[in-house]
Structure 1
Amino acid sequence: MAGMNDQEILEVVDRAINDFTGNLNDLGSAIGMLMLGRRYGWRVVLLIHSPSTVRKYVKILGLRNLRDALPEVGELAHRSNAWKLIDGTANFWKVVRGQISGVRSAIVERSNNR
């Protein structure tokens, strides 16, 4: 599945805002994860955030999981330093589980074609 379309994403965000109780910083971070993920993909999201943080944000957003909501690899994934390190290797899940350290990174670089 390619993930949700923009209208479906907006509906998730609106529903989360309407239903949320708690610290608004958590809600804002969850929405930010979702919005970035729609362009970077769920694999990059899992390289940025810890599994427990992703679970927390997915719960806040009322989603079953990220795989249904986001593309696996978004059109901007190539800008992610962490994705560049593991793209094409079999190490993705080892990095996500913490079995390989030093790869997780939230750093992105400007695309050369812009």
Structure 2
Amino acid sequence: MALKDPDILGIVDRAVDDFNGDLDELESAIGMLMLGRHYGWRVMMLIHSPTTIRKYLKILGIKNLRDVLPEVGVLAHRSNAWRLLDGTKNFWKVVRGQISGVRTPRVEKTPGKTP
């Protein structure tokens, strides 16, 4: 179940208070969390490697993205990777790296149209 914004901000505030290390890593972890509110944890798992997800979870002090983010966010349809996988059974194969060429951070405001 996705957390509400005040709870998300609590996670961010705690992470900022407790953080030791390079600020670019903290910034990236917070960015993943904030974007994940709109795109969902499935899209975040398609644009980040499992290693990166684990690093960000540790920085944020959370155990699992599924505990804090929606499964599929309201903007997931804008993700090229999500559109390729939506409705298929290949999601976890892509996450595990068994299928290549799908992961992409690319999103489009109007899917299917190029500027």
- TM norm structure 1: 0.96
Sequence identity (%): 70
- Which residue does 1:61 correspond to in 2? 60
Partner of 1:97: 96
- Measured after TM superposition, the shift of residue 74 of structure 1 is 0.2
Deviations 1:34-74 (A, max 9, x none): 00001000000000000000000000000011000100000
Secondary structure of 2:100's counterpart equals: coil
Q: What is the Cα-based RMSD across aligned positions, in Å?
A: 0.8
SS in 2 for 1:13: helix
User: Which of structure 1's runs of 4+ aligned residues deviate more than 4 A?
Assistant: none
1:34 aligned residue: 33
TM-score by length of 2: 0.95
Give the distance between the partners of 1:46 and 1:111, measured in 2 at CA.
22
| DSSP-derived class of the 2:72 partner | coil
In the comparison of the two structures, how many residue pairs are matched?
A: 111
CA offsets 1:62-108 (integer angstroms, 9 cap, x no match): 00110001000000000000000000000000000000000000000
The within-5 A match list for 1:76-91 is 76-91=75-90
